[in-house]
Amino acid sequence: MPSVSFATFLIICPVSFFLGIVFSLFPYDYPLLWSSLPTPPSHFDAIEAHLKLLHNAPNLIVRILHIMLGVGILGLVIKLYKPSESNLLFDGGSLVLYMVAVIVYIANIVKGLRIVNDGTYGLGMEKLSQDELDEVNSGGYDVTSGDSVLGREDNLKVLAASNTILALVLVGVLVLQFGQWYADRADENAMREFEAKEKAEREKKESEASSPTVKRQSSGREGKKTR
């Protein structure tokens, strides 16, 4: 169906767009998370400069980012309108993963960029009691105030880990969309084979049904000739 193909296009394009952005950040994130060597201070300065540039990007770039985000959600909603069993399985899973990516973006990345831009690392951390430290969530933010209680290196590592989570989740969306395409194609091939088999059996039955009639007519003609 053309509408389904267009909706799939609306999903794949934004996801690929976001994966490209995440991949462009990989050279900055790799030394923080995956390298066994100690990260030099100059690398932290480079990461900060790049993240500040992203945070202070022109409004047009931010709007394009949010438009692409909305386009992906629109494509998933279109595909889930009057869903079939295949849509519920693959597109439902894609929507869940996509929303996980949106939550990670809002909860970790947007807050992290603001902290890097302001330079407010570990705000009030030395004043927190043990009970207050227990109220710190996995992103390193106070649940009540929303302030960061992590230092410079830890904040940048949280952002790098969030980028990795985004990459895995978005790849999962692409895998589910490809899986749906493969499953639909396999169903179509199986349906064609079944219809071809039915047609062959029908033609065989029709030929078998017409052959006794031909034999009777030929035997009747032979009897007339002998008379």
Between CA 219 and CA 28 the distance in angstroms is 91
Would you say residue 128 has pLDDT above 60? no
Instruction: Decide: helix, strand or coil at residue 115.
Output: helix
Residues 142-155, mean pLDDT to the nearest whole number: 66
Beta carbons within 10 angstroms of residue 26's beta carbon = 14
Question: What's the one-letter identity of residue 194?
Answer: F
Between CA 224 and CA 227 the distance in angstroms is 5
Q: How large a percentage of the chain has pLDDT more than 70?
A: 78
Nearest to 117 by CA among 49, 45, 65, 42: 49
Domain positions in the chain: 2-186
185-225 confidence digits (pLDDT tens):
888 888 888 888 888 888 778 787 776 655 555 555 555 55
Would you say residue 181 has pLDDT above 80? yes
Reported as a pLDDT band with limits 50, 70 and 90, residue 81 is confident
Between CA 86 and CA 84 the distance in angstroms is 5
The H or E element containing residue 167 is: helix 152-226
DSSP type of residue 39: P
Residues 71-75, mean pLDDT to the nearest whole number: 95
Reported as a pLDDT band with limits 50, 70 and 90, residue 2 is very low
Looking at residue 57, its pLDDT comes to 92
Between CA 71 and CA 206 the distance in angstroms is 54
11-59 confidence digits (pLDDT tens):
999 999 999 999 999 999 999 999 888 889 899 999 999 999 999 999 9
Conformation bin of residue 140: beta by default, left when phi > 0, alpha when psi is -120 to 50? left
Would you say residue 138 has pLDDT above 50? no
Identify whether the C-beta of residue 86 lies closer than 8 Å to the C-beta of residue 184: yes
Reported as a pLDDT band with limits 50, 70 and 90, residue 87 is confident
Identify whether the C-beta of residue 155 lies closer than 8 Å to the C-beta of residue 115: yes
Between CA 216 and CA 147 the distance in angstroms is 96
Q: Say what the pTM is.
A: 0.75
Identify whether the C-beta of residue 94 lies closer than 8 Å to the C-beta of residue 153: no
- pLDDT averaged over every residue in the chain: 82
Would you say residue 90 has pLDDT above 80? yes
Bridge partners for 136 per DSSP: 142
152, two tokens: 């410079």
